[in-house]
Chains A and B, each alone.
Chain A
Amino acid sequence: MKNNHIPRSIKLLNTLSKVSFWFTVGVSIIILFVIIYLLFGGNLEGDIKFGDNNYKNFNEVSFLSKLWLLIITALAITPVILITHFFSKFMNLVYNGKYFEIETIKFLKWISYLLLSIFLVGIFSEFLITIDSSFNDSLSSNLNFQADNISLSLPIFALILWVLSHIFSQGAKMKKLNDLTI
C-alpha cells in the first residue's frame, strides 16, 4: 500500500538512507583493505598513537597492535553497516506507508541493539588497547583500564529507540485490532 501523501522529507530521507548505506559499505571496504595492507607490512607514515606508544610509520607498529586494530575496526564497522542497512529498510517501509507494522518496528529495535553494540565495542577496544600497551611496555604489570573516550550518548539514544519501538509495537497491536473492526 503506497501512501500518496508522503512528505517530501520522507522521500528525501528514504533516498539518503539508501545512498548512505552504499556509501558506508564502500568506505568500510576501503578502510578494511587499507588495514589489511598495513597488517602485512604496508607503508603509511603519520603520527600514530597506540595507547602510550607513538610511531611515525605503521611499519614500526607491532603485528599484534595492527591485528587488534583490524579486529576492532571490523567489530565497529559491522554494526555501522547493519544500522545503515536496517535504517534504509526502515525508511523504505515508512515511505510505503507501513508505519505501524511489526516489520518496521523490528528494524527500529535492531537499530537500538546495534547502537548498544557499538558502545560495547568502544569499551572493548579501550580495554584491548590498554592490554596491548601494557604488553608492549613490558615493565608495566598493571592493566590500567581507562574509558575516557567512551560517550554515553549512544546507549542513551539506543534506549530511546528501544522504548520507541515498544510504543510502536503497542500502536501496531492497536492498528491490527482496528483493521479487524468492521
Chain B
Amino acid sequence: MIIVNLDIVLAKRKMSLTELSQKVGITMANLSILKKGKAKAIRFTTLESICKVLECQPGDILEFSLEGK
C-alpha cells in the first residue's frame, strides 16, 4: 500500500496544514483526506505543487509498503 508521509514532511518544515493549503491552493478538506491516507489518487499537478512548496521529492511524501501503517 501507499503511505502518505505528509505530516512528517510538514513537521520537518515546521509548516502547518493550513499554511500548506494556502500556499498550494488546495482546500483543507482535500489536504486532510491526503494526510489521513484516504485519497484514492493524486494528480501530478497537485504533487508537483506540494513538492514545490515543501521543497522535497515525491518519494518524501509517498512511500510504498507491503504492510499497513
Contact = CB atoms under 8 A, between A and B. Distances in A.
Interface of A: 177, 180-182
B38 A181 contact: no
Interface stretch (B12-20, B40-48, B51-59): B40-48
Interface of B: 26, 30-31, 33-34, 38-43, 46
Given A180-B39, A182-B34, 19 more contacts: A177-B40, A180-B33, A180-B38, A180-B40, A180-B41, A181-B39, A181-B40, A181-B41, A181-B42, A181-B43, A182-B26, A182-B30, A182-B31, A182-B33, A182-B39, A182-B41, A182-B42, A182-B43, A182-B46
Contacts of A180: 33, 38-41
Nearest to A176: B40
A180 B36 CA distance: 12
A181 B41 CA distance: 5
Nearest to B50: A182
Contacts of B26: 182
A177 B30 CA distance: 13
A177 to B, nearest CB: 5
Q: Which of B26, B30, B40, B46 has the most CB of A within 10 A?
A: B40
A182 B36 CA distance: 12
A29 to B, nearest CB: 46
Nearest to A177: B40
Contacts of B40: 177, 180-181
Contacts of A177: 40-41
18 contacts: A177-B40, A177-B41, A180-B33, A180-B40, A180-B41, A181-B39, A181-B40, A181-B41, A181-B42, A181-B43, A182-B26, A182-B30, A182-B31, A182-B34, A182-B39, A182-B42, A182-B43, A182-B46
